[in-house]
A and B are shown apart, each in its own frame.
Chain A
Amino acid sequence: MNPTSTPSTPAVSVLTGDRSFLLRLYEQLVLIREFEERVKFLFLEGTMPGTIHQCQGQEATAVGVCAALRADDYITSTFRGHGHALAKGLGVQEMLDELFGAVTGCCKGKGGSMHMGNMDKGMVPGIAIVGGGIPLAAGMALAFKMQRRPQVVACFFGDGAVAEGAFHEGVNMAAIWNLPVVFVCENNLYGASTRIDKVMKNPRVSDRAASYGFRGETVDGNDVLAVLGAARRAAAECREGQGPVLLELLTYRRTGHSRRDACHYQAKDEREAWFARDPIERYAAQLLTRSDVTLADLAAVKARVIQEIDAGVERAKRAPQPTVAELTTDVLA
């Protein structure tokens, strides 16, 4: 399971790629990290209601995949969806408002952390039942195919979802109908606290694609450019009617499964090895090999992101809560 040994051909070279595009990827990575850290603080501080499932350490999967998509492409997500949302273009403010339960949130305060989404930005509210988004994404892709719309769906799920019947059923139908879905398995080695070697005889998730008759690929999920390259290839294949594709992105969750999980089940040497492969630090080091990117540039990105989050939190704390009349609206169309 050593991600550094998996094949990955970056479609975008860090040396020759467009500087502003590459820096935008960096900004998204940092935005997700800083957003999650702030949310964690607000949650532990007690000012934010609900529960949280965070993605620190997995930022490159969201950013790399979403950067390969067009604005009118869709993603489906999970209970761990903050990173996907930011990468797909949801605003910091609408997300913070949602987390504070405000009526100005992206789901009017009715979704919350686990159901973050905004259809106008191409993100279905997070499906918090493990595997539940997989048939849903296949259905969206079926609609695109039947209506001859050139769109694709990227369907995010974790390694835990692979054990669900929904994975088998949804992936199989996507395969037999050649649907334009990029199945994105963020393999962070743990389904909640259970390590994958206890629940998978074959821990290479991408191998499963072949048994359904389509292409699978394992990618270093902590290398944003490798993810971007693989996702671009997969999306292009889907758009040409050669979908679906299964991407297994090897990554690691630095924080607990959910609130107040101290991750005692993650071995110390494993954590250290993965922390040494942190997607943001690695990408920063890559960027700094360019002559036109400096430490000061990267620091400026981080400062800008933190400023945006600071302002967003202040507004979100004062954002209007729904009236109780909202309880019974939006049930039926």
Chain B
Amino acid sequence: MKRQGIAEALRDAITEEMARDTRVFCIGEDIGVPGGWGGAFTVTLGLAEKFPGRIIDTPIAELGFTGIAVGAAMMGLRPIADVQYGDFLFLASDQLINNAAKLRYMSGGAIKVPMVMRAPVGATGRGSQHAQSMERYFTGVPGLKVVAVSTAFDAKGMLKAAVRDDNPVMIFEHKLLYGSKGARAEPGAVDATSEIPDEDYVVPLDRAAVRREGRHVTILGWLLMAHFARQAAEILAQEGIEAEVIDVRSLSPIDYETIGASLRKTGRVVIVEEGPKTGGVSAEIAAGIMENCADALMAPVVRVASADVPVPFTPVLENAYRPDVPRIVEAARQLVQH
């Protein structure tokens, strides 16, 4: 057992998978430069020395290197690609959506694309173009699996599961959760460290995780919002409201079994999402709840999400943009009184 943050846990996951399977390699920008950062958030730091020729630095060409990852995966390798900021996925989208996600279907099942695409997301003082919550753009793409990791334990286990999966898997990571120490630490970082077992393990890519049990209201969130939901639950507990907190974690597919079981207990749900409310993953989850477990609801579904605006820069507006603990507490409090 050792205590690790998400960046270290991801690094160990990559190291172990590359040692286990010679088909695994990393491709991205600034990931293996001697004297460099090991990617934008230090995840691949030191790996180029350990695995010569398998940490591939690319030009600044997200569309190109994503297509290269797809092609290499088709030919039997298992690439782990990453973009420095999730926002850059728009550049890579043609290869992800038109090729990676569809080649299996188009070929009548002949092709496998076992690739991983990692992407940091979240509003962190960088203005509008290094801040978006990108997961919403990929959850509705058949042929892709989409997960979001909020703890170091999950980061390691889900990355390992993704590398071993025969499908394209997108892993969203939050910039405020990588770790609060080190050269690339972010102001406002939240503790997402975990006790990491010494032995090999994977975390399934299709299961939500109950982070806190409760009987009055269910709060659903992922990434930073899973942490804020837990903090909100602590405050609610002081008022006698027992909130069940679920880290949705698997965004495509969504685990309605775990969510439904919770709703049958609480009858009430708040879905918290960083990102504009319109067209968000929370909208899909709300619809899915209606289709899967509407009978359990004793009150309408409530969403706490960002305003329908680009992510602003100035801290006062950014804080207003991002759902925070008081807003989650207030939403849950009102819902319980409903």
Contact = CB atoms under 8 A, between A and B. Distances in A.
A166 B63 contact: yes
Interface string B49-71: 00001101011010111111111
B99 A127 contact: yes
A296 interface: no
Interface in B75-102: 75-77, 94-95, 98-99
Interface in B101-120: 103-112, 114
Given A109-B108, A331-B143, A172 B59 contact: yes
B70 A136 contact: yes
Nearest to B54: A146
Interface stretch (A17-25, A118-126, A239-247, A307-315): A118-126
B106 A110 contact: yes
Nearest to B77: A143
B99 A132 contact: yes
Interface in A100-150: 105-111, 115, 117-120, 124-125, 127, 129, 132, 134-144, 146-147
B72 interface: yes
Nearest to A126: B106
Contacts of A125: 103, 106-107, 111
Given A173-B59, A176-B59, A111 B68 contact: no
A165 interface: yes
Nearest to B95: A135
Given A136-B67, A138-B71, A331 B58 contact: no
B68 A124 contact: no
Nearest to B62: A169
A139 B72 contact: yes
Given A331-B142, A333-B166, A135 B63 contact: yes
Interface residues of B, number: 42
B104 A146 contact: no
Contacts of B73: 139
Contacts, number: 144
B64 A138 contact: yes
B25 interface: yes
Contact of B105 (A118, A120, A139, A330): A330
Contact of B94 (A117, A129, A331): A129
B167 interface: yes
Contact of A143 (B72, B109, B167): B72
Nearest to A114: B106
A329 interface: yes
Contact of A136 (B54, B95, B107): B95
Contacts of A142: 56, 68, 71-72, 77
Nearest to B76: A143
A170 interface: yes
Contacts of A144: 75
A146 B25 contact: yes
Contact of A108 (B94, B109, B145, B167): B109
A332 interface: yes
Given A115-B106, A125-B107, A169-B59, A139 B76 contact: no
B320 to A, nearest CB: 36
Contacts of A110: 105-108
A170 B72 CA distance: 13
Given A124-B74, A143-B76, A173-B61, A132 B98 contact: yes
Contacts of A106: 108
B74 A107 contact: no
A143 B22 CA distance: 12
A135 B68 CA distance: 5
A139 B69 contact: yes
Interface string B170-197: 0000000000000000000000000000
Interface in A290-333: 329-333
Nearest to A105: B108
Which 7 A-B residue pairs are closest in the complex by CB-CB distance?
A139-B71, A135-B67, A169-B64, A108-B108, A143-B75, A139-B68, A333-B166
16 contacts: A108-B109, A118-B110, A132-B67, A136-B95, A138-B67, A139-B73, A143-B72, A143-B76, A168-B61, A169-B59, A169-B64, A173-B59, A173-B64, A330-B105, A330-B108, A331-B143
